[in-house]
Amino acid sequence: MAMISLKSVTKIYQQGARPALDSVNLDIERGDFVFLVGSSGSGKTTLLSLLLREEEASDGEVHVAGNDLRRLPSRLVPRYRRTIGFVFQDYKLLPNKTVWQNVAFGLEVIGAKHSTVKSVVPQVLDTVGLTGKENRYPHELSGGEAQRVAIARAYANHPQILLADEPTGNLDPTTSVGIMEVLDAINRTGTTILMATHNEEIVNSMRKRVVELHEGKVVRDEKSGSYDSARYYPDAEVEMQARGGSMKDNEKSRSVRETFAAANRSGESPRTSPAVQSQDEGLRRLAKTVHNGRTGRYGETFSPVEDTLTWGKGIAASDIAATAPHAAASHAAPRTEGQPATGTDAAAPQKATKGKRPSSLPAPPPAPKPSTKAPEGHDQKGESR
């Protein structure tokens, strides 16, 4: 039986309004890592709320870890939630408690023994990379550190399922990569993860299962999938840009995929931008981590990183092979005399082998030989005549 199963699930908040979820069918197996994607208002948060039993479905069947949530009595909801970990976008940390106390609180409310808390909390903090920061308060943490605390608290009781609602929504690209590495490590232990996100760069790099919602319906369920946020034109500006219209450029909102495409068209290197280079390296590290062949307790072997590390549409292996000879020829082309050196040519003299002179430099003039003829008015011993 699937760990999470939704059969013809519909959720209507107001009569006559468009359903937040409309006849959704979805099965998620134990140990899966699933991205839930879609524009704002597509129903992602509503679906997570149904799984957490914060909302009840208007119609259909919802089964989670063997529990029929539509028939689950209210008195048993707290016990059910102990088997579910939830990571919020805005962290939801207790401001008057330290990092240690915030993580321990998640264990204390389910009745864990004090000895269990003392042994589990250090292990979980080490898993998320927060060893040494146990005594800090939330206001003393960065956004990435606060999100790691939230993940540690959700994972402290080793839940069967971990739900995450936009865990990287408030974080910069580099920090987001670190958070995804933590979630991937947790998934390797066998925990089922369902994560709602808008970050298409991370989705396209990790190549996990992708379930896309649009207007409350599942429009795509793809194994090792990708995500294009402009596919369904969530607003007028995105639609106009997709159709080739002119809008005022917004550098902060430009995606890494668009930056790489523009750089390729102009023939410039996309790594000239420090911000792009930072996220480029981070996504490469993330993709290398999740595609290294380890499978954890469940799941299937990840695809090779060469086939899955993409930005947007991706780069075909044949295209890389076709451009390699051209790139090699351009680097080997001789420079005409008098042309200034640039790029790697300018750095070539600095990399020359010690004791050897680069062939492009002129030979120094020979040193003058010492004269054996005595100056006028002196003999060869230097005495005056």
pLDDT of residue 173: 87
- Is residue 287 within 8 Å of 305, Cβ to Cβ? yes
Query: Rounded distance, CA 351 to CA 76, Å?
Result: 70
Burial 199-231 (b: 16+ CB within 10 A, else e): bbbbbbbbbbbbbbbbbbbbeeeeeebbbebbb
Name the residue among 249, 251, 209, 243 with its Cα closest to residue 226: 209
Residue corresponding to tokens 């396209």: 204
Neighbouring C-beta atoms of residue 319, cutoff 10 Å:
10
pLDDT of residue 235: 52
Q: How is residue 378 annotated by DSSP?
A: B
Is 142 strand, coil or helix? Answer: coil
User: What are the residue boundaries of the structural domains of the chain, listed by start?
Assistant: 4-83+159-300
pLDDT in tens, 278-327: 566 766 766 666 665 544 433 333 333 333 333 334 444 555 455 555 54
User: Residue 146 above 50 pLDDT?
Assistant: yes
pLDDT in tens, 34-64: 999 998 889 999 999 999 999 999 999 999 9
- Is residue 166 within 8 Å of 196, Cβ to Cβ? yes
pLDDT of residue 318: 57
- Is residue 38 within 8 Å of 212, Cβ to Cβ? yes
Query: Rounded distance, CA 242 to CA 234, Å?
Result: 11
Radius of gyration of the chain (CA): 31
Give percent of the chain with pLDDT exceeding 70: 61
Beta bridge partners of 212: 37, 220
Read off the pLDDT of each residue in 102-109 and give the average, rounded to a whole number: 93
Query: Rounded distance, CA 6 to CA 69, Å?
Result: 10
pLDDT in tens, 222-255: 999 999 887 775 455 555 554 554 444 444 444 5
Residue corresponding to tokens 């790139």: 327
The per-residue pLDDT of the chain, averaged, comes to: 76
Read off the pLDDT of each residue in 9-13 and give the average, rounded to a whole number: 95
At 125, list the tokens. Answer: 């903090």
Architecture of the 4-83+159-300 domain: 3-Layer(aba) Sandwich (3.40)
Amino acid identity for residue 314 in this structure: G
User: Residue 27 above 90 pLDDT?
Assistant: yes
User: Residue 117 above 50 pLDDT?
Assistant: yes
pLDDT of residue 217: 95
pLDDT of residue 288: 67
pLDDT of residue 111: 87
- Residue 14's pLDDT band, with cuts at 50, 70 and 90, is confident
Query: Rounded distance, CA 50 to CA 194, Å?
Result: 13
Query: Rounded distance, CA 329 to CA 237, Å?
Result: 42
Q: Give the global pTM.
A: 0.64
